[in-house]
Amino acid sequence: ANALGREKDYAGAARWTEIALRFDSGLKPASVMLGTYYYLNNQRDEAIAEYRKMTQLDPGEAEYWLRLAWIYGQDQPAVALKTIDEAISRIPDGRQLYIDGFRYAAHAGLVEVAKGYIQRWLDRHPDDNEMRGAFSQADSLIRADYGAPAGTR
């Protein structure tokens, strides 16, 4: 399946991944990739359904939530943020969830919401100097990377 994916045969990759999962539904890398193959094969609804299913079966696995939010983040930032918030409620120490929440909110021009994701992480992990540095640079990061003026929304 991975070889087909590298060749951009996403339909074939999805088909072989589905077969592999029929033999062993516990293959986490395969279950993570299946939704991605669907999405890359222009099967957005199937990708969303797959990741929704996996978040129900394994709600503590951040990767499913992150990929689901990424799909929504393409054109539905509010749904992406809702997905991130739901994931954080289930995986409060999932650092990447807060980072992605920052990114989606910043991209939507929700500067204070974006900064709030970093602050929430720092409230839980005050010794995370990398995130503390990101927080101190948040306004300039948002301006440079997302074009949103600091202090908006």
pLDDT tens digits for 57-96?
999 999 999 999 999 999 999 999 999 999 999 999 999 9
**The amino acid at 64:** Y
Q: What is the DSSP string of 63-131?
A: HHHHHHHHHHHTT-HHHHHHHHHHHHHH-TT-HHHHHHHHHHHHHTT-HHHHHHHHHHHHHH-TT-HHH
pLDDT at 109 > cutoff 70: yes
Could you tell me the pLDDT band of residue 26, with boundaries at 50, 70 and 90? Answer: confident
